[in-house]
Structure 1
Amino acid sequence: MSDLTDDPKMNPSEVSEPLRRAIGERYLTYALSTIMHRALPDARDGLKPVHRRILYGMHQMKLAAGSSHRKSAGVVGEVMGKYHPHGDGAIYDAMARLAQDFNIRYPLVNGQGNFGNIDGDNPAAMRYTEARMTIAAEALLEGLSENAVDFRDNYDGREQEPVVLPASFPNLLANGSSGIAVGMATNIPPHNIEELCNACLHLIKSPDARDDTLMNHVPGPDFPTGGIIVEPRENILEAYRTGRGSFRLRSTWQTEDLGRGQWQIVITEIPYQVQKSRLIEKIAELIQTKKIPILADVRDESADDIRLILEPKSKNVDPDVLMGMMFRSSDLEVRFSLNMNVLIDGRTPKVCSLKEVLRAFLDHRRDVLIRRSQHRLDKIDHRLEVLEGYIIAFLNLDRVIEIIRTEDEPKPIMMVEFELTDVQAEAILNMRLRSLRRLEEMELRRERDGLMAERVDLQDLLASEDLQWARISDQLRETRKKFGKEYEDGARRTQFAEAQETPDVPIEAMIDREPITVVCSKMGWVRAMKGHIALDQELKFKDGDEGRFAFHAETTDRLLVFGANGRFYTITAANLPGGRGMGEPLRLMIDLPNDAEIIDFFIHKPGRKLLVASSVGDGFIVPEDDVIAQTRSGKQVLNVRGETRAQLVKPVTGDHIACVGENRKMLVFELSELPEMGRGKGVRLQKYKDGGLSDAATFVLEEGLSWKDPAGRTRTETELAEWIAKRAAAGRMAPRGFPRDNKFT
């Protein structure tokens, strides 16, 4: 873009710059604003600006832990009007989260009313709820009026707000945090305050402490919803050392005896940030789709506590096996990611280790201690100056009263006559008459001596780093006692255990073995009739439909479907719908395209080999164990393209193969001429000038080749020398009496 600033017609207030630079600078400004003022928490107090402003707003409204509750709408209005110029919805959502004891380990807001629940229900509107601070929030604000932290102008310059809170405990780790900025994110789990204080005390004693030593005090996160961490210690240590990692978190469960050999599983704690209602829906879906056939039902019997019931299909099921499958298939086990990306000194984003975060908190506490001590020292110096003036006034009380009564300007006269400072003279003049009776020399001197002693202590504290860390250690011990085991829910909730990995048990081993008759119609509706019924029995089908496949099986069998697209699909017989109705479409159970016909449907027999062939006469032998599919989408075995489709699949029995084409020419050749492979297009079975493959069969040459004649009688031809040739030959016309449909069976 050319520079237009020299154009005399151009407005002098307009600036021309390249589009790339203009967009880049503006997006960078937006990115920095998002990182620093919205998404990432400060390492010192563990808060984002919106949370800090909410607590400060409640502090200004005097909503302490012992005060009465106030309407949440009033708090949101105060915060939005003075400190956080964003939507009231965003402020209320942040405030409601601070009150949710299932989201926040140490809630900072004490809510009254509906603030949401672990099922995922939203809080009531702000006009219906009330709030005040908790003692944990007061601990974060302690010392705010003593110049403990810097203040800055609010968005319109009319008010002042704290840059950071004093924070008497490491809130960043205690309550955790999560957020997504531009190009970076943070995710920090909550921890136990008592353990964090122990780690801080150890870090004060040993500034060069190793990460594994700190982990002796902080063994891992402490989630508000409890649960069991099954992550190995070395993985947790690596996560704390690097600031990145993850934790496997499982539900807490136990087996409840119902008598007579019956039992059920009771889940009393679910993983952090898992919605209970959504979890139950997912488990119900697993039952409906029969992905866990040994699970019969799930019930929610929760009241104020969590109580989920899992009913096994049979009392013979192993509880550990059932829960192992549940952990793998549902959110009863989750992996919580750790990404300790925080703002150091409120400005620089950095992925920190556990030690770095604790060090940032301790350095902040030292700054707060120094500032509060200096503030107190200034207050003492001012009070001592006033007390000296009071003592002089007491010793010359009659003269002071005379000057005040007789002089128009008593202040300068008093300052000259008694050598008072401006502050002392002003204090004497502002004293009320009723205070004169308290002007006793002994009392004044006692207060002065006490302040002098305190002043010496403060000066020693400010001059000695060792004394400062000793004082911080005392404060941490007080905090530990305040929020330790004696505090409501202060004890550790999340426990640790080794992951007892249950072996993969075949589905068939968990299913009661029962006889069934599998019936599949021409249109693909499948069902399983109980017992082994007669296969020629007349069955009902939908209008315009008819039977196609019917065979005896057992509930423990695995069934194979071979589609015209060359893919094999696997179905567990126990998952088939019952035989009372017309069944269900097979295509709802597997991802078989609508334009792909079902070529065959049969029981899987381990160790068997199959002959697969396409409509153009290409084929090969494949081990049946290799065609088992693990997903609904099946497994591609025979590659087909264009108009070509899969034609047949036959079990291999014998030493020769017979092929017949649509031209009724038959060819017999040795089975050893066909390759055995897991997937591919295959090789040419028979050569055709017109048409393609109609059917094929494998057989033992000495026993002869059999087929059914038009009358339905089985005919066996042993003299086959006329048709025996090499693979891919054209073959000769089929024997007299060969079926008109060109099929061997």
Structure 2
Amino acid sequence: MGKPVNPPSGGEIENINLKDALEERYLAYALSTIMHRALPDARDGLKPVHRRILHAMRLLRLDPKSAPKKCARIVGDVMGQYHPHGDQSIYDALVRMAQDFAQRYPLAEGQGNFGNIDGDNAAAMRYTEARLTEVARLLLDGIDEDSVDFRETYDQANEEPVVLPAAFPNLLANGSQGIAVGMATSIPPHNAAELCDAALHLISHPATTSDQLIKFVPGPDLPTGGIIVDTPSSIAETYMTGRGSFRVRARWEKEDTGRGSWNIVVTEIPYSVPKSRLIEKIAELLQEKKLPLLADVRDESAEDIRVVLEPRSRTVDPIILMESLFKLTELESRIPMNVNVLAGGKVPKVLGLAECLREWLDHRREVLVRRSQFRLNAIDKRLEILGGLLIVYLDLDRVIKIIREEDEPKAELMRFFKLSEVQANAILDTRLRSLRKLEEMELKREQKSLQDEKATIEDLLGSDKVQWKTVAWEIKEVRKTFGPETALGKRRTTFAEAPDTSDIDFAEAMVEREPITVIVSDKGWIRAMKGHVADTSSVQFKGDDTLKTAFFAETTSKIIVVATNGRFFTLDASKLPGGRGFGDPIRLMVDLEEGEDFIAAFPFKAGTKLLVAGSDGRGFIIPADDVIANTRKGKQILNLDAPAKAVICTEASGDHVAIVGENRKLLVFPLTQMPEMTRGKGVRLQRYKDGGISDAKVFSLSDGLTWKDTSGRTWTVEKTDLIEWIGNRAEAGRLPPKGFPRSNKFE
């Protein structure tokens, strides 16, 4: 390694700390991004690139009534004179200004392919043409009349406006999106007529707050329509702070296709969601079987949006189908609102609704004052000239003589008639044809009307009240142009409350309801066969495994499984393995401790009660709703002291309990003697010298006690014959009646 080379000494070398240099340069970059690129001006709602495009289009005379010009010409002018950045970024901004699905009130009118709501790009700028719209004309209205400041362009060769006069509430009407350094902005579009109403109210009641203005501006009005499903209180909060978001849903309707079948047709999608991406996502979810209620999605859009959603079957509830789609796809999306703008064109600030409108109104008043002053100066100049001309008309012959005979006619005219230089020049510039008698009358009439106009303007400049009255009149004119009865001004986004889905179990709703037969083997394998299979004798098992229990359920059912350690587990029937193979071990589906086994499996029935008991003869009644477990670990219900195990879990529908021990003693007692608990050890059900419980069931005494014997016949012992076995809980009981199975089981 050689020695480090020292920089040459002397010359124009300055040592700077890297940290200081980086801080300074990054700050300069950050400020430039915030001020000159990403954040809109609160007064005209435009970023510099849009302002420059509009200004250049105006200079190209692309008014709403003139013929459009090639976009390449517009982009070239903007780039060459005002905006020394990439042509593609300028063209992208111009394209967006012309898209009626991106801008609520487009500022440019495009001819040619300007992209579409599917997310396709516009044609190249050499193919497309554009001109200004009426909205853009309003933004530029009065720019020639010294209404706003101008500054030098980047190369000092030209001038550009610092802000536009903005006779249209563009900031909120068209919204804006931008990411700067350390801050961002996101403003959804609003309805211009509503903003005008709010502004007019603000003029007559200057102390009005944002939450009071909400009666005029209920929420955004998006170019693509849709439905806002937020609560009024959360919308109010967003407008007061300038920060928040809006939940926007697609607009849909149910369309009958005859014979009881139907489709759902989506006619409006949320703002800034490309339609093709939305449909792709739905199709993807369909393929992944995450939308079991949906059969197909088709895009039948032409000029208007028409997305057809076909349900799996006609029995599907359309609201549940749509709610599941809103949950999983961009048919519902959140539109953020963060009104971070340059207040007064200088300071980045988050503004509420009232502050935004106040910025616009103050700007409009300043524009009015400056335009009025400009007009006043023009009137004064003209009146001075008219005064000189009228003096001359009194002695025309003298004027002609001076002009014909004097070497310096201007000086002589000024001396003889006591004129100013401006007046003398005007006389010398007058054409001979203007010396008719009629012309004098015309000049007098012009002078009178200008003097009247001057008095009116002086009144306006001298009175705040008159100024605000004029601003209000201008806003009313804009409101007329974009009122709710006009095609462009009619509100597109509506408001609604989202349907209450708290009582819908989406996990269940997302499964198609079909009958199944659940089969559980002795070794704890489980499977679900399609349909209700009454005869399970032909069902095959693995090795020496045999059938433990089989029961009917539906794909939407929850299956309760009880283990010997007193834990209850919940399985979704829809997730059980199919009936073609041997199924899967339940152990793989839940977390069961080593050495424990399953004693029962049955479908969950809401509102029912269960009797649980351990081998030590203790147990209690529990509502079935309390045994549902949401995790793989299950729920500990019956607490046991080793070596006792849970042995019984049976439905408790009836008024008496029949219990039989391993000692073959039977006891019947009223169900009311058993406590109802949600977990615990329970109470003693039957007393034993040795051994424990064998079986228990709950039955109605009036129907008698039934059991099945070894040959499968059902025996019933009537109420009158049961007298000698009826006793109280925790008694020992006595040997059962004749015919009771040797297995000591009721089933």
Q: TM-score range by the shorter chain?
A: 0.7 to 0.9
Query: Could you tell me which amino acid in structure 2 is paired with residue 513 of structure 1?
Result: E
2:16 aligned partner: 17
Provide the residue aligned with 1:513 in structure 2: 514
Match of 2:473 in 1: 474
Q: Does 72-81 or 552-561 show the bigger shift?
A: 552-561
Q: Deviations over 1:26-77 (max 9, x none)?
A: 1111111000100100000000000000100100100000111111111111
Letter of the structure 2 residue corresponding to residue 95 of structure 1: L
1:157-189 superposed Cα distances (whole Å, 9 cap, x missing partner): 001000000000210011011111111111111
Equivalence for 1:395: 394
Matched, 1:162 2:161: yes
Q: In terms of Rg, which structure is larger?
A: 2
SS in 1 for 2:336: strand
Q: Say if 1:578 and 1:22 are closer, same or farther in 2 by CA, change over 3 A.
A: same
TM-aligned CA deviation for residue 238 of structure 1? 1.2
Residues 380-427 of structure 1, C-alpha deviation per residue, up to 9 Å, x if partnerless? 000001111111222222222222233332211111111111111111
Residues 8 and 295 of structure 1: CA distance in aligned 2, closer, same or farther (over 3 Å):
closer
Say whether the 8 Å CA contact 2:33–2:180 is kept in structure 1. Answer: yes
One-letter amino acid of the counterpart of residue 96, structure 2: R
Question: Matched residue pairs, number?
Answer: 604
Indicate yes or no: 2:35 matched with 1:36: yes
Tell me: CA distance 1:335–1:569, structure 2 relative to 1, closer, same or farther (3 Å): farther
Take 1:451 and 1:180, find their aligned partners in 2: how far apart are those partners?
50
Alignment match, 2:723 = none
Give the deviation of 1:554 after TM superposition: 5.5
1:264 is paired with a residue whose SS is strand
Q: Matches of residues 615-694 of structure 1 in structure 2 within 5 Å?
A: 653=647
Tell me, yes or no, if the aligned pair for 2:528 and 2:573 is still in contact at 8 Å.
no
- Residues of 1 paired with 2:17 and 2:537: CA distance? 81
Written as runs of structure 1 = structure 2, the 5 A alignment for 1:197-596 is: 197-437=196-436, 440-506=439-505, 507-508=507-508, 511-515=512-516, 555-556=555-556
Question: Share of identical aligned residues, percent?
Answer: 55
Unaligned runs of 5+ residues in structure 1 are: 1-6, 520-525, 540-550, 562-567, 593-598, 610-622, 639-650, 656-677, 679-699, 705-745
Q: Distance in 1 between matches of 2:51 and 2:589?
A: 52
- Closer, same or farther: CA 652–536 of 1 in aligned 2, 3 Å: farther
**Structure-1 residue corresponding to 2:117:** 118
Q: Give me the whole-angstrom Cα distance separating, in 2, the residues matched to 1:159 and 1:491.
A: 40
Deviation string for 1:535-554 (max 9, x for gaps)?
98999xxxxxxxxxxx9985
Displacement of 1:13: 2.9
Structure 1 window deviating more from structure 2 (332-341 vs 450-459): it is: 332-341
Partner secondary structure for residue 308 of structure 2: strand
Answer whether contact 2:559 2:603 (CA < 8 A) is retained.
Answer: no
Task: Indicate the residue corresponding to 1:545 in structure 2.
Answer: none
Give me the whole-angstrom Cα distance separating, in 1, the residues matched to 2:570 and 2:216.
Answer: 51
Distance 1:255 1:9, change over 3 A: closer
Q: CA deviation at 1:528?
A: 8.1
Q: Distance in 2 between matches of 1:556 and 1:380?
A: 84
Q: Which moved more, 1:291-300 or 1:107-116?
A: 291-300
Q: Secondary structure at the match of 2:461?
A: helix
How far apart in 2 are the matches of 1:143 and 1:56? 12
Instruction: Give the 3 Å change call, closer, same or farther, for CA 626–578 of structure 1 in structure 2.
Output: closer
Residue-by-residue CA offset, 1:623-675 (whole Å, 9 max, x unaligned): 9999977xxxx96889xxxxxxxxxxxx97569xxxxxxxxxxxxxxxxxxxx
1:469 partner SS? helix
Unaligned runs of 5+ in 2: 1-5, 521-526, 542-549, 562-567, 591-596, 612-623, 636-644, 650-678, 680-690, 696-747
- In structure 1, the partner of 2:87 is 88
CA separation in 2, counterparts of 1:32 and 1:208?
Answer: 33
How many Å separate the matches in 1 of 2:238 and 2:210? 10
> What is the CA distance between 1:302 and its match in structure 2?
1.3
Q: Find the counterpart in structure 2 of residue 730 from structure 1.
A: none
Asked if 2 retains the 8 angstrom alpha-carbon contact of 1:394 and 1:440, the reply is no
In structure 1, give the amino acid aligned to 2:210. D
Normalized against structure 1, the TM-score is what? 0.73
Q: Alpha-carbon deviation of 1:317?
A: 2.0
The Cα RMSD (Å) is: 4.1
Q: Say which SS state the counterpart of residue 215 (structure 2) adopts.
A: helix
CA distance in 2, matches of 1:570, 1:49: 61
Counterpart check, 1:175 vs 2:190: no
Cα separation, partners in 2 of 1:703 and 1:234, compared to 1, 3 Å: closer
Aligned to 2:195: 196
What does residue 102 of structure 2 align with? 103
**Is the contact between residue 560 and residue 603 of structure 2 (CA under 8 Å) also seen in structure 1?**
no
Change (3 A) 1:401 1:246: same
Native 8 Å contact 2:118 2:276 kept in 1: yes
Aligned equivalent of 1:707: none
1:194 deviates by 0.7
Determine whether 1:65 maps to 2:64.
yes
The answer on whether the counterparts of 1:320 and 1:502 sit within 8 Å (CA) in structure 2 is no
In structure 2, the partner of 1:187 is 186
Please say if residues 385 and 424 of structure 1, whose CA atoms lie closer than 8 Å, have aligned partners that are also in contact. Answer: yes
- The verdict on how the C-alpha distance between 1:270 and 1:27 changes in structure 2, with shifts beyond 3 A counting, is same
Give the secondary structure class of the aligned counterpart of 1:217. Answer: coil
Contact 2:82 2:160 in 1 (8 A): yes
Q: Please tell me whether the aligned partners of residues 515 and 530 of structure 2 are also in contact (alpha carbons under 8 angstroms).
A: no
Task: Tell me the distance in 1 between the aligned counterparts of 2:532 and 2:433.
Answer: 105
In structure 1, the residue matched to 2:565 is none
Secondary structure of the residue aligned to 1:266 is strand
1:265 alignment partner, SS class: strand
Aligned partners of 1:281, 1:321: CA distance in 2, in Å?
21
